[in-house]
Amino acid sequence: MRHGKAEPGGETDAERELSQRGWADCVEAGRWLAGSGITPDAALVSSARRTTSTWLAVAEGGSFDAEPTYSDGLYSAGPESALDLVRESPDDVRTLVVVGHNPTMAYLAQLLDDGTGDEESGRAMATGFPTGALAVFAVSGRWLELDLASAGLTAFHVGRAAR
């Protein structure tokens, strides 16, 4: 997941907060996940303020109680480093939400996609990965074994609250 729409500035980039629209969009994304029967066991979240707030809003919208792991490394990670962080997830985690930044999240989603998943979702993801976007993948095997082109895209959703 890419974080929600953020305020344009902050004391530092890492301290930028979600805008009101971003918060509302992420609450909607959480509702969509819950309504789709997706309940995360864990969350891997960049330590930046806008991503930690994104997770809080998603958790609120979906009534999720998964304990997040905040990662300084995810804040600056490229797609392969982000994949390495995902691979560190415990085997008992069945559903993981990763909340990060672009272009890393978009590239990682494209790299994971094995091309056998939902075609409509694949087309939607190919047109862009805006703020609040979620790519949902089916993964078989252990997290440690997750590799490029090894996951089937099952859904793509962009959180947008009614305006």
Residue 63 falls inside a structural domain: yes
pLDDT at 58: 98
5 falls within a domain: no
Compute the mean pLDDT over every residue in the chain, rounded to the nearest whole number.
97
Q: What is the CATH number of the domain that holds 21?
A: 3.40.50.1240
* Three-class DSSP category at 32: helix
Residue 3 lies in a domain: no
The residue count of the chain comes to: 163
Q: How far is CA 114 from CA 74, 130, 158, in A?
A: 23, 21, 21
89 lies in some domain: yes
pLDDT per residue as tens digits for the range 59-72: 999 999 999 999 99
Would residue 38 count as lying in a domain?
yes
Domain region containing 21: 13-158
The verdict on residue 90 lying in a domain is yes
Q: Is 66 within 8 Å of 97 (Cβ atoms)?
A: yes
Query: In the sheet that 68-71 helps form, which strands lie side by side, from edge to edge?
Result: 68-71, 42-46, 96-99
Does a structural domain hold residue 97? yes
pTM of the model: 0.96
134 in any annotated domain: yes
Q: Indicate the number of domains in the chain.
A: 1
Q: Note the pLDDT tens digit of each residue in 103-149.
A: 999 999 999 999 999 999 999 999 999 999 999 999 999 999 999 99
